[in-house]
C-alpha cells in the first residue's frame, strides 16, 4: 500500500487518520474498528486517505523516486505496488511491472542480480 512509501516521506500528518495497526497488520482489528466498519465509517475514511495518499505520491518528488519503471517496456510512467489494477510484482525481488508487459520469462532485475553474482564468483 502507500504506507511504506509515505513513511519515508516528510509529509505524514494527514495520513495518520487511520490507526497504525490497520496499515501495519493485515488481520488485526480493534473492537472500535469493527464498530466503524459496521457503521460504514472506516471505509469512508480509508477511501479518503487512500485517495489523498495516491494524489500525494503522484505529486511528490520524494515519493516518485520510490517508484518503479517497467523494465519490459521501459515506459515513462512510474509504477507503485499499490496500483494493483495496472501493476504486477516479481515474487523474488518485488519489482513492479505493467501487468500487460509481465511475462513468465525471467525478471530482468533478478537476471541482472544473478549475472552479477556469477561474475563475482
pLDDT digits (tens, 9 = 90+) for 22-64: 777 878 889 999 999 999 998 898 888 888 888 888 888 888 8
pLDDT higher than threshold 90 for residue 98:
yes
Between 2-6, 23-27, 65-69, 106-110, the lowest mean confidence (pLDDT) is in 2-6
0.75 surpassed by pTM:
no
pLDDT higher than threshold 60 for residue 102:
yes
Residue that the C-alpha cell 487512500 belongs to: 50
Length in residues, the chain: 121
Q: What three-state secondary structure class fits 104? A: coil
Nearest residue to 22 via CA among 56, 53, 5, 45: 45
- The model's confidence at residue 109, banded by pLDDT at 50, 70 and 90, is very high
- The model's confidence at residue 7, banded by pLDDT at 50, 70 and 90, is low
Which grid coordinates are listed for 35?
Answer: 464498530
Amino acid at each position: 500500500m502507500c504506507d511504506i512509501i509515505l513513511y519515508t516521506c516528510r509529509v505524514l500528518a494527514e495520513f495518520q487518520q487511520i490507526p497504525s495497526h490497520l496499515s501495519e497488520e493485515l488481520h488485526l482489528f480493534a473492537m472500535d474498528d469493527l464498530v466503524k466498519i459496521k457503521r460504514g465509517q472506516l471505509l469512508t475514511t480509508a477511501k479518503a486517505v487512500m485517495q489523498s495518499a495516491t494524489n500525494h505520491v503522484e505529486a511528490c518528488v520524494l515519493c516518485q523516486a520510490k517508484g518503479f519503471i517497467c523494465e519490459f517496456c521501459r515506459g515513462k510512467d512510474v509504477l507503485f505496488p499499490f496500483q494493483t489494477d495496472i501493476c504486477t510484482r516479481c515474487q523474488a525481488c518485488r519489482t513492479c511491472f505493467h501487468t500487460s508487459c509481465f511475462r513468465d520469462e525471467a525478471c530482468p532485475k533478478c537476471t541482472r542480480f544473478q549475472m552479477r553474482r556469477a561474475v563475482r564468483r
